[in-house]
Structure 1
Amino acid sequence: MSTIELAGLRENVRGRVIDSDDPGYDDARSVFNGMIDRRPLAVVRVSQVADVIATVNFARDNGLDLAIRGGGHSAPGFGTLDDGIVIDFADRIGVHVDPAARTARAEPGATWADFNHATHAFGLATTGGIIGSTGIAGLTLGGGIGYLARKYGLSCDNLISADVVTADGGFLTADESQNADLFWALRGGGGNFGVVTSFRYRLHPVDTVYGGVVIYSAEHGESVGRFFRDFIAGSPEEFGAFYGFHQGPPVPFLPEEWHGTPVCVVVGAWTGPLDEGEKRWQPVLDAAPVLGSFLGELPYPSLNTLFDPLQPKGMQGYWKADFLRSLSDDALRVAADFGSRVPSVETANHFYPIDGAVQRVAPEATAFAYRNVDFAPVIAGQWHDPADNAQNTRWVRDYWEALHQYAEPGGYINFMDADDQSRIADNYQANYARLAEVKANYDPANFFHVNQNIAPAVTGA
């Protein structure tokens, strides 16, 4: 497409239209996963909803593929593409808090670090992710597992409404009373149905928490896993934590001899009365010999960014995910085996509990269908050197294949990679048919397909 044709797009947006002739093009086309190297025709740094409408119309009318980028953390690199148009919300990171109503309205370029900074000023929060640089948009649309899920549900369970630009360039609001079918689909169905330009969330009183990290040798991984399975099931929902495997991080509370060595971890926080925090964490400290720990009172936003130094943009990445009905002895045996061979400091293998408030929502109430399982395991392989791509990707695949025999058919879409498209229907169980119908209503031509794609239902003959 010629520069003259792109000029028509520039005339209709107030944000920046960045193409290959611009000096900032390489930065604009890059995403979190350095394994993804794509060259879009243009990246549109939108400044307002009118820019989104104009860009959707331009891409559709010119037969161009469209990618939507919020935080850009998508492992498959769905926030960029070759030869198409990228809507980039990097300049739209505003968060407006209504402390009296305990709600917040956020723009889709905001990260959880942005969001938590804004809400913490009022002693409030909602369920977000584990990494501060993760975008609110992608996490919420895919479900949204985080430290507060046991007490307050998923991110999508706390979504009150969303403003959406549809494939025909229309603009609408989706909530329980308006476009309720679309609102249902947005809560777990990903970016299949339109471009969300605003999210409104319910907030909860979460301010200072008691939490942090406890690290054990990987040789104790199986026994710590059995402890964690029973401990979390019997703990109040104010205890939000996960179990997993890393390499020992270069932190002062872990002896240097364990840096870069496979370790087992329990990470999270007690969000109940602070004077109970030490007592609530003591069983975790007693579960196995502790190599190092960092526990105490800390602001909730600090908990949400603990791993950020280990998650710089540009690493190579390959991810897999599942759901486990329980953290069985068989699953723990697999976890301990592969956890003892974690390939890099940046690789994260976590088992997130999704009981409590998550399970009090009916499976058919939102698109997120797995409300009857207790854990969501994720295997997020990340590393710096492209020379390690083949062996580290193989570790992730082998681990997932060994674990999947004990798992449910579907998995958490926010941690799936590009080669997981065949699992789409399994990810949504009985909700898939309804999602396909909603897709047919709002995007019958499957214009929004650069995602974990739900094909529109085919009706009539």
Structure 2
Amino acid sequence: MDTLTTGDTEKLADALRGELITPADPRYDRARQVWNGDIDRRPPLIARCADATDVAAAVTFAAGRGMPVAVRGGGHSVAGQGLCDDGVVVDLSPMRAVDVDPARRLAHVQGGALWQDVDPATQAHGLATTGGIVSETGVGGLTLGGGIGHLMRRCGLATDNLVEADLVTADGRLVTVDAERDPELLWGLRGGGGNFGTVVRFGLRLHEVDPTVLAGMLIYPLDDAPAVLARYRDLIADAPDALGTILNLRLCPAVAAIPERLHGTPVVAIIVCWSGDHEQGQAFLRPLREFGRPVLDTVAPMPYVVLQRMLDDTSRAGDHYYWRSVDFGPLTDEIIAIIVEHVARITSPLSAVPVYHLGGAIGRVPPEDTAFGSRHATHDINMFGHWVPDRDDRDRHVAWVRDFSEAMAPHAVGKYVNFLNDEGADGVREAYGRRWQRLVALKRRLDPENVFRYNFNIDPGTGDEQDEQDA
């Protein structure tokens, strides 16, 4: 990396319509904050970009000086990929515009937009696409890495709905890709993360989704979890695509949606989203709602945009987080026992264990049609360590996550890229599996110097000898 001079910095500042923030700026500490407070990095330059031209200027500046680029969209990566210590942060947060074309069922979304920007805009037309379950999640990171959400079993992953994109490549070019213009790059963007450039505009396919869905929570005591999870497993075996569910095992959070009498008690919750006919949904869910001894049942018609914000209070910006994740098959009795055992050992009142039900439309996409790696999994489990550093000890929370992950490892059938944390190059390669060689070839074409390396990195220098061993 070349040494930065005052003249260099001034040159980049003059080229931007947006702002260039340096460590001398009083706004610097705030500008370098991301969602995960466990991440503490000090980038020499933060370019708050106003448009695609700004992005091109920042990327060209960095590449010309041998500096890497970290792209910040929503800043919601648990691994802190929107920050670096040695390069230029391309901050897209000022670029949040959403333009909906209801006739084409297409949303044009700028690279810094959050799902809280997208959902109200699309729902105004009775449309939606699969978005994150926390409204402050960035569209870019979620979409490029896969994108699980309440609608995924009906509408596919967020990445499955990416039909076109504008991006700035490592050499500063602004290119548009779709099924006709560089379809191989579109393939790579659909699951390959931020490896190939900075996406400044996403074209997302929309689906008819009534603004009111049948949604809410069923909450049971954790002591009932083995029986409840077995009953749940039997129900979802024949679930239609309209049903999206997330299990969540944890100490009950102190949020407004849950009565105070339950706060802090060990529970298993089933978060429900039925996006089809409500009467059919009520009938399908009845056997589960009438089973056992639920301590809370809030399932009722509610606006989809309200559902999309329902979990926001459990994912506070600035708290500290450490994750691991495993994709697995059916919810066997053995897996249920592992989950319940480790939830009983939970080390923080804020930590959680969401288990996402996959399948449906996700599994009907041919595996080679996108770079996303786990089409055949039934579930993804996220061991979600969450704590406040002033009150808790990091090491024991991290140890709980890692122990849990090791216990689940024998049952793994894949990994979800967006839930990787510190697994390193081997973890990234494992997540992509047999798609790795194709992704490396694309990376070598688009970014041979690995300018975009603050991501779940696909190293263009991966040796051909190793590639042949994996073939």
Short-chain TM bin? over 0.9
Question: Distance between the aligned counterparts of 2:349 and 2:114, measured in 1?
Answer: 23
1:37-186 aligned at under 5 Å gives the runs 37-186=40-189
1:433-452 aligned at under 5 Å gives the runs 433-452=437-456
Distance 1:402 1:62, change over 3 A: same
How far 1:270 sits from its partner (Å)? 0.9
Deviation per CA, 1:93-121, whole angstroms, max 9, x where unpaired?
Answer: 11100111111000111111111011111
Deviation per CA, 1:380-435, whole angstroms, max 9, x where unpaired?
Answer: 21111254211111111111111111112x31011110234321221112111111
Which sits farther off after the overlay, 280-289 or 98-107?
280-289
Question: Distance between the aligned counterparts of 1:37 and 1:459, measured in 2?
Answer: 32
Contact 1:69-1:79 within 8 A present in 2 as well = yes
How far 1:367 sits from its partner (Å)? 0.2
Corresponding residue for residue 239 of structure 2: 235
Corresponding residue for residue 394 of structure 2: 389
Question: Distance between the aligned counterparts of 1:444 and 1:405, measured in 2?
Answer: 36
Q: Could you say what secondary structure the match of 1:73 adopts?
A: coil
Corresponding residue for residue 303 of structure 2: 299
Identity of aligned residues (%): 39
Q: Within the alignment, does 1:398 sit opposite 2:432 as a pair?
A: no
How far 1:258 sits from its partner (Å)? 2.7
What is the one-letter code of the residue matched to 1:53? A
**Equivalent pairs, count:** 460
Contact 2:255-2:313 within 8 A present in 1 as well = no
How far 1:251 sits from its partner (Å)? 4.1
Q: Could you say what secondary structure the match of 1:276 adopts?
A: helix
Question: Distance between the aligned counterparts of 1:44 and 1:251, measured in 2?
Answer: 36
Question: Distance between the aligned counterparts of 1:3 and 1:261, measured in 2?
Answer: 56
Q: Could you say what secondary structure the match of 1:414 adopts?
A: helix
Q: Could you say what secondary structure the match of 2:219 adopts?
A: strand
The CA RMSD over aligned residues, in Å, is: 1.6
Corresponding residue for residue 34 of structure 1: 37
Question: Distance between the aligned counterparts of 2:464 and 2:157, measured in 1?
Answer: 36
Distance 1:447 1:83, change over 3 A: closer
Deviation per CA, 1:263-295, whole angstroms, max 9, x where unpaired?
Answer: 111002111112334333322322331111222
How far 1:253 sits from its partner (Å)? 6.0
How far 1:301 sits from its partner (Å)? 1.2
Corresponding residue for residue 469 of structure 2: none
1:192-341 aligned at under 5 Å gives the runs 192-206=195-209, 207-251=211-255, 254-341=258-345
Contact 2:226-2:336 within 8 A present in 1 as well = yes
Question: Distance between the aligned counterparts of 1:319 and 1:244, measured in 2?
Answer: 15
How far 1:345 sits from its partner (Å)? 4.1
Structure 2: which 5+ residue stretches go unaligned?
466-471
Question: Distance between the aligned counterparts of 2:18 and 2:199, measured in 1?
Answer: 17
- TM-score computed with the length of structure 2 as normaliser: 0.94
Structure 1: which 5+ residue stretches go unaligned?
none
What is the one-letter code of the residue matched to 1:77? G
What is the one-letter code of the residue matched to 2:235? F
Question: Distance between the aligned counterparts of 1:156 and 1:428, measured in 2?
Answer: 15
Which sits farther off after the overlay, 51-60 or 76-85?
76-85
Distance 1:345 1:124, change over 3 A: farther
Contact 1:270-1:277 within 8 A present in 2 as well = yes
How far 1:256 sits from its partner (Å)? 3.1
Distance 1:148 1:192, change over 3 A: same
- TM-score computed with the length of structure 1 as normaliser: 0.96
Question: Distance between the aligned counterparts of 1:152 and 1:252, measured in 2?
Answer: 30
What is the one-letter code of the residue matched to 1:258? L
What is the one-letter code of the residue matched to 1:113? Q
Contact 1:208-1:298 within 8 A present in 2 as well = yes
Q: Within the alignment, does 1:5 sit opposite 2:8 as a pair?
A: yes
Question: Distance between the aligned counterparts of 2:76 and 2:258, measured in 1?
Answer: 28
Question: Distance between the aligned counterparts of 1:252 and 1:445, measured in 2?
Answer: 49
How far 1:449 sits from its partner (Å)? 0.8
How far 1:369 sits from its partner (Å)? 2.3
Q: Could you say what secondary structure the match of 2:355 adopts?
A: strand
Deviation per CA, 1:301-343, whole angstroms, max 9, x where unpaired?
Answer: 1111111012221011101111102222211111111122333
How far 1:255 sits from its partner (Å)? 4.5
Contact 1:445-1:456 within 8 A present in 2 as well = yes
How far 1:81 sits from its partner (Å)? 1.1
Question: Distance between the aligned counterparts of 2:385 and 2:65, measured in 1?
Answer: 37
Question: Distance between the aligned counterparts of 2:59 and 2:256, measured in 1?
Answer: 49
Contact 2:68-2:450 within 8 A present in 1 as well = no
